[in-house]
Amino acid sequence: MHPEKERLHLYLSGALGPIDHRRVEAHVNDCAECASVLTEMRAEDAALADALKLDAAERRWLDSLDLVAPVMAQIPAAPPTTPLLVLVVVLLSLAGYAGGSLWSTVTGLLPDPGVGSAVSLIRTAGPALLRLLLWLGRGGLLPVIWPVLVIGAGLGAWRAFFTKEARGHA
Amino acid sequence: MEEREALRRCRAGDRDAFAHLVRRHQASVLALCYRMTGSREDAADAAQQAFLQAYRRLETYDPAQPFRSWLMKIAANESIALMRRRGRLKEIADDEALNRAAASGPDAHSLVELAEDREAVRRAVAALAPRYRTVILQYYFEGLSYQEIAERSGLSVGTVSTHLFRAKQQLRRLLSEGEVTAHHAP
């Protein structure tokens, strides 16, 4: 009985276990029909490999393409180095602190003189900070920005509230 | 720049080093994407996506493995994903009954003769079910051994061999029945 074609294919690819391999080999050596099937399979392999090769026109097209620019355009700029990151965190904390103080003052937690200094700080540093935020956003640091701002704002509000409490007690 | 050095620099955030890797591998990646998708436009998009994915997943790359092999696997997956997103994945039914019949019965058509129409073969390959398309291209186009395909795909050599056999049966069916038309091609 002839082995199935799939079995012959497994034999050809060396995927059979040693016992099965020897069994099929013994059969193929004595069976002209199966030997012919194996020859045909080898020819098919060669024909398919040849059909899938790149032809000259395809090679020219491949050589004409340059993926470097489009790929690199989609890769964000490298994140800032550590000293710059520290500076950014400090600036963001200050911004958050100023925002928190201002909010506390405006909502009546703290009477003047906090308003003037907080407004002044935001007016001075605001545009630069905005540009910094946009730049960091492009650099993939957006997830870092908001926690730092929120923590800074919390500290600012807490400080303002604490100051008011201290004044109340005094 | 050596590939290993480029990879080390990439991991340290050096974009130029990654540009070097793109330049080095773009032809192979594009060629595979082209055979996977059968379309120049899709191939260029899939290749770009493959490089971006590679950059994002660089931390998961095992330096003990060849970078090219890792990249080509991503390229094959991205090609399939892109075609699926664009609704161009026409999966040919993997008919078990037909597979069984093909595994035992004589072939009505010789694949050697059918493969003479190279354009039809390429269209047919681009219309195969993804797992068969991938294995056919890894073996016949990339020239990988069964062992290398098995390592890349995480399958056993026996499963790779079975996939390849069935892929050829499906290819024979597509070619002999003239199922692959310009409309069928992606």
CATH architecture of B95-176: Orthogonal Bundle (1.10)
Q: Which pLDDT value is given to residue A115?
A: 55
The beta-carbon neighbor of B140 closest among A52, A68, A71 is A52
- Does pLDDT of B110 surpass 50? yes
- Rounded to the nearest angstrom, the minimum Cα separation between A106 and chain B is 44
Phi, psi of A35 (to 5 degrees): -60, -40
**What ipTM was predicted for this assembly?**
0.84
B93 vs B131, residue with greater confidence: B131
Q: Which chain B residues are within 8 Å of A6, Cβ to Cβ?
A: 103, 162, 165
User: At which residue do the structure tokens 């056993």 appear?
Assistant: B156
Please tell me which residue, A146 or B151, carries the higher pLDDT value: B151
Walk along chain A (170 residues) and give the pLDDT tens digit of each residue: 889 888 999 999 888 889 999 999 999 999 999 999 999 999 999 999 999 999 999 999 999 999 999 999 998 776 656 677 777 777 877 777 777 777 766 666 554 545 556 666 666 666 766 776 666 665 556 666 677 777 777 777 777 666 666 666 65
pLDDT grade, residue B186 (50/70/90)?
Answer: very low
Residue B106, pLDDT > 60, answer no
What residues does each domain of chain B span?
Answer: 3-85, 95-176
CATH 1.10.1740.10 applies to domain B3-85: yes
Give pLDDT tens digits for B165-176. 999 999 998 898
HEC string for chain A:
CCCCHHHHHHHHHCCCCHHHHHHHHHHHHHCHHHHHHHHHHHHHHHHHHHHHCCCHHHHHHHHHCCCHHHHHHCCCCCCCCHHHHHHHHHHHHHHHHHHHHHHHHHCCCCCCCHHHHHHHHHHHHHHHHHHHHHHHHHCCCHHHHHHHHHHHHHHHHHHHHHHHHHHHHC
In one letter, which amino acid is B33?
C
Let me know if A73 is exposed, middle or buried by CB neighbors in 10 A (0-12, 13-18, 19+): exposed
Interface of A with B in 49-78 (CB under 8 A): 49-55, 58, 61-63, 65-68, 70-72, 74-75, 77-78
